[in-house]
Chain A
């Protein structure tokens, strides 16, 4: 199973094995990673599963679609590498993915 590393705002690292086909958000919830709220459960409606994709992975993860991009505009401290983790699907090509969490979701 692909490994994903979540790094909390305080630097705490969590490496999880994620099932292919689920979202990076779902893998975080399943593994109880603090800092991802996912209030809407993955409907791309709330922007509370915001992550920063590690620079080395940006190309493989790809760009957000228009809806997600607009949601991200209003997330807490959006950056160039911001994504909503409910919109990233775990795949073999993402084995080793590193994402960082914002200070808070909101």
Chain B
């Protein structure tokens, strides 16, 4: 009988894994199951061009419908998987189907963390992950009044930028004393704070939300300090949590997400995992990482797909990320956590500069603002694990290109 691979999750990682399996010559059946009704699509524009109405839904699709037909990838959409029976090697769907698999990929992603506070369920309190979420947020942008955004991470700040472009008043609440505190250094936080303040965002640092008030629909956010901020809507961007419920119930190993080895394999030899839901051992960083980014989803899914097709690929790509806010593009290479030195190259006032994060003489990460050359060069340096001295980087006369030639 023909082998069957099932992919749980029809997002960026699921789509990539299916494609890679076919490219690697897998000739079994491939069934991809997604909770949303849409075929795999891009999520990054949901806080930017799609939200602003500049990009139609059909332009978000990752592959045209003909691709799945041609590649014999069966899509089962609008269906939730409720359980994995590892002993019987089958998955159970919400519709009561029991679907046998020979190989299984978990590409379940990382949905937004929910706020647990009084009034948190009021109408007009929104999260952002899906096209439906973005569709619900779009009409808010043309309201008069104010949106309160909880959390100054990428999602919160990108939505703040989109909302200001539409002329909506924006208050951003951040518990930490700087924006992007979890992912970037102080130089980057300073720059983005100024960028948003200049655009008219009411940015509150060290501000904790207590609860929301409203009669059916949200009307105000109340801070721990007692201050009350009237608002027509709220957007919650307080991070994402890996979707591990299925894996946990199936007793797969969990380690800040679904545990995988360097081959994207879980603790079960017939199950792989990729994308936001999975953690992996990074050789570059010598520790386990779980990354929430499109490039990670693509690269890890390529490894999972190749290995599900019988290969022995190893995942050790250099992490990278991007964020577009107003007219500024941030490209990040690597993970800066643990840096003991930072070097600033260029002048933030010029809106083109880069911040280099170093740990014991080793380049860990770079944040490049409107500076693709710094991005591209640092990607190569980190991949090559090249030793680099802070004073070389700090010297404005150092030609970055000479470092990789």
**A residues near B, CB below 8 A?**
22, 26, 29-32, 39-41, 43-47, 67, 70-71, 73-74
Contact = CB atoms under 8 A, between A and B. Distances in A.
B329 A45 contact: yes
A67 B329 contact: yes
A46 B295 contact: yes
Given A44-B329, A45-B322, A30 B373 contact: no
Name the 5 nearest CB pairs between A and B, nearest first: A74-B376, A70-B372, A45-B322, A41-B42, A71-B372
A41 B64 contact: no
Given A29-B63, A43-B329, A46-B322, 15 more contacts: A22-B59, A29-B62, A29-B64, A30-B64, A32-B66, A41-B42, A41-B44, A43-B44, A67-B329, A67-B370, A67-B372, A70-B376, A73-B373, A74-B373, A74-B377
B59 A26 contact: yes
Contacts of A43: 44, 322, 324, 329
B108 interface: no
B372 A40 contact: no
Contacts of A26: 59
B331 A32 contact: no
SS of A interface (majority): loop
B293 to A, nearest CB: 10
Contact of A41 (B45, B66, B372, B376): B45
B70 interface: yes
Interface centre among A29, A40, A45, A67 (most CB of B within 10 A): A45
Interface string B315-326: 000000010100
Nearest to B372: A70
B285 interface: no
Contacts of A70: 371-373, 376
Contacts of A74: 372-373, 376-377, 380
A43 B331 CA distance: 11
Contacts of B62: 29, 41
Contacts of A67: 329, 370, 372
B67 A40 contact: no
Contacts of B380: 74
Nearest to A47: B376
Contacts of A32: 63-64, 66-67, 70
A33 to B, nearest CB: 11
